[in-house]
């Protein structure tokens, strides 16, 4: 995975965040010849403004203070390297994605508008490209056009879609999808779900019902629940993650629209505060622009752009 094309795609997708974060950090560093408390305070402010969050920014700078002292760092460039290393370590410590076993069922959850349908299509394309057989289930039956949108993505990815009429029972869709996945001996069943977070109780009951059906109808399947978040919403994405964590057992996060925001620092905050693996990040509109998350590539891409694969 660590090749020039991969790093270049990550670096390009993070360009707006990097301009925000690296420029802020760079401006701070070039104004200091001496590494001391005033520098740390200004770096902390730069991280907060890049949507890393207050708690996470404080943690990063505390770690930087220790690293500067332990490693006897005395140059601005070394401070930047240290920051990248600390953020990478934070990801790796907080997120250790479990291995996907097959057959598997992946529930996709998240509020409307975050890119769930697009994510499902791109995931289907990713797994198909790896030689896996995929079935999709349109269990978000209440949102107008959700089923039609998913059909378009299923066609693009070349995978079957199990669907019912709009406003039908999501549980019935999942029941049929499990039967189809088993009959086809599919490696992966990906299930779209409704995103009505304003009614938490109903959504919780619906997800529980879907889970019970999967457990009963496809008991051999490995289970995953991916939460899709929109990076452009910054701290609001973190709040959504906290709410969804109350109603679902989230095994991974997919962060979309990173290429369109300067708020990519939210990935750092989510990894630090939620301790849920970031599994994929969206860095473009194309079907292959959903990238498996790589902590080192991301941390270095935040600071070094096209040179992210160096060092």
Residue 11, in any domain of the structure: no
Q: Alpha-carbon distance 136 to 186, whole Å?
A: 10
pLDDT in tens, 175-216: 999 999 999 999 999 999 988 776 778 888 899 999 999 999
What percent of the chain is modeled with pLDDT above 70? Answer: 85
Boundaries of domain holding 163: 104-250
Query: What CATH number did the domain enclosing 241 receive?
Result: 3.40.50.300
Residue 1: what pLDDT? 41
pLDDT in tens, 141-184: 987 788 999 999 999 999 999 999 999 999 999 999 999 999 99
Residue 281, in any domain of the structure: no
Residue 19: what pLDDT? 65
Residue 110, in any domain of the structure: yes
What domain count does the chain have?
A: 1
Residue 311: what pLDDT? 44
Residue 112, in any domain of the structure: yes
Residue 93, in any domain of the structure: no
**Burial class of residue 37 in the structure, from the number of CB atoms within 10 Å of its CB (0-12 exposed, 13-18 middle, 19+ buried):** exposed
Residue 131, in any domain of the structure: yes
* Cut 0.95: pTM above it: no
Residue 187: what pLDDT? 97
Residue 209: what pLDDT? 94
Q: Which residue has the higher pLDDT, 132 or 50?
A: 132
Residue 56: what pLDDT? 87
Residue 33: what pLDDT? 75
Residue 227: what pLDDT? 94
Residue 22, in any domain of the structure: no
- pLDDT confidence band for 7 (50 / 70 / 90): very low
Residue 202, in any domain of the structure: yes
CA atoms within 13 A on the CB side of 76: 13
């Amino acid at each position: 995975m660590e090749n020039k094309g991969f790093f270049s795609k990550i670096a390009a997708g993070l360009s707006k965040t990097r301009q925000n974060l690296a420029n802020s950090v760079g401006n701070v560093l070039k104004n200091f010849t001496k590494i001391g408390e005033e520098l740390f305070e200004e770096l902390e402010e730069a991280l907060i403004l890049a949507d890393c969050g207050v708690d996470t920014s404080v943690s990063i700078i505390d770690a930087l203070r220790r690293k500067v002292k332990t490693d006897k760092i005395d140059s601005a460039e070394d401070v930047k390297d240290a920051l990248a290393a600390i953020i990478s370590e934070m990801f790796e410590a907080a997120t250790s994605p479990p291995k996907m076993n097959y057959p598997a069922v992946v529930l996709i959850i998240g509020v409307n508008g975050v890119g769930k349908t697009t994510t499902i299509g791109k995931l289907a394309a990713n797994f198909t490209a790896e030689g896996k057989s995929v079935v999709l289930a349109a269990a978000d039956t209440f949102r107008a056009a959700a089923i039609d949108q998913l059909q378009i993505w299923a066609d693009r990815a070349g995978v079957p879609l199990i669907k019912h009429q709009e406003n039908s029972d999501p549980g019935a869709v999942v029941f049929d999808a499990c039967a189809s996945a088993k009959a086809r001996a599919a490696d992966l069943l990906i299930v779209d779900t409704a995103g009505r977070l304003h009614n938490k109780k109903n959504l919780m009951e619906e997800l529980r019902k879907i889970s019970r059906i999967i457990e009963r109808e496809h008991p051999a399947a490995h289970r995953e629940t991916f939460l899709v978040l929109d990076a452009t919403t910054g701290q609001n994405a973190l709040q959504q993650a906290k709410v969804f964590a109350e109603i679902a057992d989230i095994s991974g996060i997919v962060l979309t629209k990173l290429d369109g925001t300067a708020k990519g620092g939210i990935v750092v905050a989510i990894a630090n505060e939620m301790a849920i693996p970031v599994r994929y990040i969206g860095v473009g509109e194309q079907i292959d622009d959903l990238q498996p998350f790589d902590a080192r590539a991301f941390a270095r891409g935040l600071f070094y752009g096209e040179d992210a694969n160096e060092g």
